[in-house]
Amino acid sequence: MSKKKIKNPWDQCKNCLPAKCCTYFSVEIDAPETRKDHEAMLWQIAHKGVSIYIYRKAWYLMVDTVCGFLTPENKCAIYETRPYICREHSIETCEYTGDDYGFTEHFKSYDDLMAWIRENTNFRFKVQPNRDVPAKSTVRPLQAATA
């Protein structure tokens, strides 16, 4: 992962609005194997705010949703007692400074995943008439947002 030079880490957080690291979470999921697995994954990604990525051969479900403890001032309301996940988060390689997370794939939509399934498996799913699913995957690795 490439990094930007950080002069004052806390200036960086002040400029990160809203705090990118507090606006989503991701969990590892089983890699899909069967037709049912793939179809279930298509159903999951059909939900708004859900994306799926592959990192080092492991699959993850990512949900864009703001933590309930992020205040309107962009601060953590439980900073002293925040969970270990937040404590271990590195400001130097965070979502704001990283340019590329090195994901093998990042499916940001139903159509992204459908295109990947078509290219990489023998499973075929019917497409709703009048819906245009790209023949080739347009998936790109995550590009972290910059200032």
- The residues that touch ligand SF4, with contacts defined as CB under 6 A, are 12-13, 16, 19-22, 67, 69-70, 76, 78, 82, 86, 91, 94-96
Smallest distance, Å, CB 17 to ligand SF4?
8
Smallest distance, Å, CB 65 to ligand SF4?
10
Given the complex with ligand SF4, which of 16 and 115 has the nearer CB atom? 16
Which tokens belong to 45?
């990604």
Given the complex with ligand SF4, which of 61 and 86 has the nearer CB atom? 86
Quote the CA–CA distance of 29 and 41 in Å, as a whole number: 10
Given the complex with ligand SF4, which of 19 and 62 has the nearer CB atom? 19
Residue listed under structure tokens 């799926």: 52
Smallest distance, Å, CB 86 to ligand SF4?
3
Q: In one letter, which amino acid is 61?
A: L
Given the complex with ligand SF4, which of 128 and 146 has the nearer CB atom? 146
Smallest distance, Å, CB 142 to ligand SF4?
13
Contacts with 73 (C-beta within 8 Å, 6 or more apart), sequence order: none
Quote the CA–CA distance of 132 and 122 in Å, as a whole number: 20
16 within 8 A of 96, measured Cβ to Cβ: yes
Given the complex with ligand SF4, which of 1 and 133 has the nearer CB atom? 1
Smallest distance, Å, CB 125 to ligand SF4?
35
Helices 110-120, 35-45: inter-axial angle, 10-degree rounding: 160
Strands, sheet with 58-64, edge to edge from the N-terminal-most edge strand: 24-29, 58-64, 50-55, 105-107
